[in-house]
Amino acid sequence: MGQKVLILEGRQFRTESDYACAIRDKEIIDRLRTETDFGDRASLEALRRDLKGGKYKFLTLLGRDFLDEVEEMLKKAPPPEDKKKRQTKGRSLKSGGEPAAGTGARGNGKRREAGKNRLENAVVDAIVQEELRKREKRRKIIIMVCSAVAVCCLGYFSIYSYYDYRTQNTYKLLSQLRDKTAAGTSSSGTAGQDTADGPLYTLDGDEESREVLEEYRNLMIRYKRLIGWVKIDGTKIDYPVMQTTDNEYYLDHNMEQQYDKNGTIFMDKDCDVLKPSTNYILYGHHMKSGKMFGQLDLYKEKSFYEEHPYINFDTIYEKGTYQVMYVFRSKVYKEDEIAFKYYQFIDANGEVEFASHMQEMAEMSLYDTGVTAEFGDQLLTLSTCDYQETDGRFVVVAKKIS
């Protein structure tokens, strides 16, 4: 239950004890209002002296409010009549005879009534002023909060713009490096400088000798973790692909190893381009700006697939064109949940397992492309976030055709 609000004479009190003290002070104030002629300046001045002199002991702020009211009444009270005017007024009364019976009493009563009305008006004014002060305080607090929010938003926008600008410049530079002939490379395509430190090994530990494609040699000199390049015509997807032993790293780092909320497109750590794996899985953020895999969900419409059925994905060792087979929505499941987990399908142990996975994805697909794959085909899976459910994923699967 809410705490009971205790208000008296425009003041709010937190406890019953404070409220009882306020009632006691009000009783004293009401008595002083009755005994004082508020139309008489001399009476008001005498009351002010008593209040300031501590004649009346008040226990709450009502006493201070009452003194303020008396001060206000004094400012409005007419100045005292000088001696000559009082004598003239006395002679006038004598010459005109005695006032009618009861006239003085009625006059005092009217003055008291007028004084009471003025005091009530002063109390109302004080309450109004207090409310206005509270409103002004609330207004200032709101302005301060809004200003702080605006500064935070501006800061966030500035940081985001900086990251976006830096990312665009980085990928522009990468495209230029890819189009150049690697330093020290002959026209025949033989590198004068080896881009790898010693022999290459598959994830199984088998030694493998592969030559890096000429267009990626410059990039490999600078970016040792580069593993390929993915591009989809008609979209912003035209990015280098990285790979490291930590699938979390490139979620918030760029190719320069700097923090970047855009992250970088990367291949699953368990995929092997030397062996190669049955399925290459690439991950990227679904950015609202459309960057990274922000436009991958264009494939939810079959009409888009029909106009863009191919995905270009080169590893650093060979070029590749892939045809889209399946488009579906999925999610990241708990470890103990029994479900088809597309992100664990990297290598098929045999034809039966491969066919089973193909059947699972075909049933999940948003539409039928008419494209199928057989055991031994090279697959490519592109995965990004899907916000229709918690931990949702939007997935496009393709098979290599050339």
CA dist., res. 178 & res. 229, Å (int): 10
What's the pTM value of the predicted model, to 2 decimals? 0.58
In the prediction, which pLDDT does 104 show?
53
In the prediction, which pLDDT does 39 show?
81
Q: What is the DSSP letter of 185?
A: B
Residue 289's alpha-carbon distances to 41, 101, 240, 263, 389, in angstroms, are 76, 94, 18, 13, 20
Other CB atoms within a 10 A radius of the CB of residue 60 amount to 20
CA dist., res. 241 & res. 228, Å (int): 5
Nearest residue to 115 via CA among 40, 28, 26: 40
In the block, residue with structure tokens 């989809």: 232
In the prediction, which pLDDT does 374 show?
96
In the prediction, which pLDDT does 16 show?
87
Summarize pLDDT for 296-312 with one digit per residue, the tens. 999 999 999 999 999 99
Angle formed by the axes of helices 103-179 and 214-222, nearest 10°: 130
In the prediction, which pLDDT does 367 show?
98
Amino acid at 283: Y
CA dist., res. 189 & res. 182, Å (int): 9
In the prediction, which pLDDT does 193 show?
39
Residues of the chain falling short of pLDDT 50? 82-84, 92-94, 96-97, 100-102, 182-199
User: What are phi and psi for residue 266, nearest 5 degrees?
Assistant: -140, 155
CA dist., res. 266 & res. 227, Å (int): 8
Summarize pLDDT for 338-395 with one digit per residue, the tens. 999 999 999 999 999 999 999 999 999 999 999 999 999 999 999 999 999 999 999 9
Helix (H, G, I), strand (E, B) or coil at 368: coil
In the prediction, which pLDDT does 8 show?
87
Nearest residue to 40 via CA among 79, 89, 95: 79
